[in-house]
Structure 1
Amino acid sequence: MKISEKQKAFVLYLCKDNLSQTDAYIKAGYSPKGARAGAARLLTNVSVQEYMKKVMKKVEDKKIADIKEVMEFYTKVMRGTEKDQFGLDAALRDRLDASKELVKRLEKIDDKNTGDEKVIIINDI
């Protein structure tokens, strides 16, 4: 997969900055003259398509919170360190709800790790 720096820049402007194809093409350093056709041509390039898939995968992975991030958020709300959009502390009801959600998730994690599954032995001798 051979891809030039300009092609990489085009993909990054297109995927991360959410620019139009033409704007991404020009900002990547290509000539504005014929930018629309040039951008369309780049998008048919197999190497550019493969690179775009990789970039989009990384972008999507960063957009989705993992379980650790969710647990940290619930903990901050429960402890009152997370502020709302106005800079105010979370209400007591919100803190209680966060603690309940945190307990639910901790119980699920604990259930997976205990190994306390019931064993049924059938004697067919």
Structure 2
Amino acid sequence: MKLTTKQRLFADEYIKSGNATEAYIKAGYSVKTNSSAKAASSRLLTNVNLKHYIDAKMAEIESHKIADAKEVLQFYARVLREEETEEVALPVGDGVVTVEKKLSLKDRITVAKEILKRYPLADP
């Protein structure tokens, strides 16, 4: 995927905003009128290499947003070992104070059940 610096900037801005005209301007292309920028940005989006770059970046972004099974199990283990806390807002006078507290026994039991679902014991 050979893209110019401006094309790469355009693609990155387009991914951020979803607005091709705005991305075209921010990438540093010369613009006479807004309608010329709109037409030029639409043409730019038909570039096959640019499309591949945008698709690859979007896939990368999405894959980082989704927790995988290992990450979930590691979180469950931290909860079970009391390594995770939660913030709780408590009223104090006219204001509110936020404090960190350990998760409840009920939460830890729920997590333990979730772990056992994935690793069932032979003995019921």
CA RMSD of aligned residues (A): 2.2
TM-score (structure 1 length as normaliser): 0.72
5 Å-filtered alignment, 1:25-36, equals 25-33=24-32, 34-36=36-38
Identify unmatched segments of 5+ residues in structure 2. Answer: 89-99
Q: Distance in 2 between matches of 1:65 and 1:30?
A: 38
Deviation at 1:43, TM superposition (A): 0.8
Deviation at 1:92, TM superposition (A): 1.5
Say if 1:70 and 1:32 are closer, same or farther in 2 by CA, change over 3 A: farther
- The answer to which structure has the higher strand fraction is 2
Identify unmatched segments of 5+ residues in structure 1. Answer: 112-125
Can you list the C-alpha shifts for 1:1-41, whole angstroms capped at 9, x where unaligned? 431121112212222x2342222222222234432222211
Q: 1:95 aligns with which of 80, 85, 108?
A: 108
Give 1:114's aligned residue.
none
Q: Distance in 1 between matches of 2:106 and 2:17?
A: 39
Give 2:68's aligned residue.
66
Say if 1:84 and 1:24 are closer, same or farther in 2 by CA, change over 3 A: farther
- The answer to which structure has the higher helix fraction is 1
Give 1:38's aligned residue.
40
Deviation at 1:95, TM superposition (A): 1.1
Q: 2:50 aligns with which of 37, 48, 51?
A: 48
Q: Secondary structure at the match of 1:84?
A: strand
Give 1:8's aligned residue.
8
TM-score (structure 2 length as normaliser): 0.73
Aligned length in residues:
108
Q: Secondary structure at the match of 2:109?
A: helix
Q: Distance in 2 between matches of 1:37 and 1:28?
A: 15
